[in-house]
Amino acid sequence: MKAMKTLKLVLIAALISTALVNSAYADDAHQISGKNVIKLTYLQAIQSPGLVAAMHAQLSGGFLGGPALTNITLRVVYQNHVYMITGTQDQWDLFFRCNGITEQPLNTKSSKTTKVINN
- Residues 95 and 108 occupy one common structural domain: yes
Asked whether 107 and 69 are in contact (CB, 8 A), the reply is: no
- Residues 24 and 48 occupy one common structural domain: no
- Return mean pLDDT, the chain: 74
pTM for the model stands at 0.55
Helix (H, G, I), strand (E, B) or coil at 46: coil
- Residues 6 and 63 occupy one common structural domain: no
Task: Please tell me the distance from the alpha carbon of residue 6 to that of residue 85, in angstroms, as a whole number.
Answer: 53
- Residues 104 and 55 occupy one common structural domain: yes
pLDDT reading at 52 higher than 60: yes
- Residues 19 and 54 occupy one common structural domain: no
- In this prediction, residue 21 has a pLDDT band, given cuts at 50, 70 and 90, of low
- Residues 93 and 36 occupy one common structural domain: yes
- Residues 103 and 72 occupy one common structural domain: yes
- Residues 63 and 25 occupy one common structural domain: no
Helix ranges (DSSP H) in the chain: 2-24, 42-45, 49-58, 89-98
Convert the pLDDT of each residue in 63-119 to its tens digit: 776 777 678 899 999 998 999 999 998 898 888 887 644 434 334 343 444 455 555
Range of the domain at 6: 1-31
Task: Please tell me the distance from the alpha carbon of residue 38 to that of residue 35, in angstroms, as a whole number.
Answer: 8
